[in-house]
Amino acid sequence: MTSKRVSKSSKSSPRSSGLAVLALLAALSAAALWYVSAQGWTLWYGDAEAHLNIARRIFDSRLPGYHQLGTVWLPLPHVLMLPFVQSAALWRSGLGGALPAAACFVLAGWMMFLAAQRLFGSAAAGWAAALAFALNPNVLYLQSTPMTEAMSLCFAAGLLLFCARFRESRSIWDAAAAGLMACCGTLTRYEAWFLLPFAAAFFLLYGGERRWRSALLFSLLAGAGPLYWLAHNWILYSDPLEFYRGEWSAQAIYQRSLDGGMARYPGDHDWTKAWQYYRAAAELCLGKPLAWMGLAGLAAALWKRAWWAVLLLALTPAFYVLSVYSAGTPIFVPQLWPNSWYNTRYGLNALPLAALGAAALAGIVPSRLRAFAAVIVVAAAVSPWIAYPRRETWMCWKESQVNSAARRAWTRAAAAYLQPRYKPGAGIFMGFGDTTAILRTAGIPIRESLHQGDLTLWEASAARPDLFLWQEWAIAQSGDRVSRALNKMRRGPRRYECVRTYAVKGSPVVEIWRHIQ
């Protein structure tokens, strides 16, 4: 790659532009964070609720501690949330989980600016990349919630930036910084694991005489993340691949659904459909103008010999197509069967690649026209949201709204019932899942409950409630282990009675039980 440096005659310009970008991103992030919170949307995603409560339960549990990190979901997002969710107010509002995501969004946009500026030798290209990324309403929505997408995009942008720096400097420090960014990515989302061998090959290809030392340092730092997680699962669950094939893994859940008669996911071992569904999700999340403009811009990026940057950012969308094909990651979009919303937000992982293409278009024109080209590129990128300024066109918001309607209804109703009746110390027997939102909404600390993160104490209560269950209350979903255990206690010397049920279309029946004698 023959990337260009910004001219020395404008030596102060890159720094001032970088600070301006940082300030603008911070303002955008704060405004979106406030708006989403004011509208009550912060915890509409079920995963957002789960991430928030996993972070909270690390210290707010009967059996607090490291093991509460659990498995399947990677730990770094919960660790980043931990300082904030210790505030009861920030936990109940969801902001304790959203603040780290918002900070990562700001850093992601800033690093996209720095990377594009370095790659294409133009501050205008940097602005185009940063604004095409940051003005997308879907990423603004997700960065205002306890979701992991903004964090993942941050570490992907950081990896791109330090690879771009290393391409010019061949500095061991840039290799180390890239390794740390990759390590953080591998502890945030699994698609970052897929990047590691390709990124290591980059350091071998461009490292010059020190290529082996740079590649080894990168690999040691980046590989520490997956190795740590394998060890975590091995020590706590006796299986290093518990997250991949355990009871709550995507594969196990899918197999149980198939055994129950569910049709196979679209794209399951069908490359054509896997690509079709991911492309549809990407177009919905990015907007068609940016998706197609970004694709055209990639040709410009290749002409500028930034092929390695294109490859690096294309790997994550490729990972998701592969995941849809292998049935690990279903994606549903409203215009294709089964005409619903599920994991549509995964299309947002193509945003850095499209933003890079947009930057290349701004950077390829003569220098006197680059600022104008950046304005045109950014205007085209945001045109769908300006032409149709309705939140229903924000695909990630729409997905969360549709999929949370039933859960929000029974959460409010159950919390309203339990809040005035629950006395501290009485105890609540429950699973750890969607029903934990009832505790948060009612303002009941998680430590008042006995949940699955409490290990053998919970397992004993579920297996032999007649011997070990003493909690006055229980919250269950019809047919789950808690519900089955309590149904055994309808008769006998210690009886439980189901005092409330909440049946909402599109959701399992929620049950509240109480010890009556």
Q: In what order do the strands lie in the sheet with 510-515?
A: 449-450, 428-430, 473-477, 510-515, 496-502
Average pLDDT over residues 476-504: 94
Model pLDDT for residues 161-175, shown as the tens digit of each residue: 999 999 999 999 999
pLDDT digits (tens, 9 = 90+) for 280-305: 999 999 999 999 998 899 889 988 88
Q: What is the pLDDT of residue 82?
A: 98
What pLDDT sits at residue 255? 87
Whether the pTM exceeds 0.85: the reply is yes
Provide mean pLDDT across the span 147-157: 98
Q: Using one digit for the tens of pLDDT, what is the confidence trace for 245-277? A: 988 888 888 888 888 888 999 999 999 999 999
Q: Where are the domains of the chain?
A: 11-40+71-387, 404-515
Q: Kindly tell me if the per-residue pLDDT of 145 is higher than 80.
A: yes
The secondary structure of 303-340, three-state, reads: HCCCHHHHHHHHHHHHHHHHHHHCCCCCCECCCCCCCC
Identify which has the larger pLDDT, 357 or 12.
357
157 pLDDT above the threshold of 60:
yes
Among residues 197, 184, 161, 206, the alpha carbon closest in space to that of 79 is found at: 184
Nearest to 113 by CA among 60, 176, 157, 169: 157
Q: In terms of DSSP bridges, do strands 428-430 and 449-450 run parallel, antiparallel, or are they unpaired? A: parallel
Distance separating alpha carbons of residues 431 and 477, to the nearest angstrom: 9
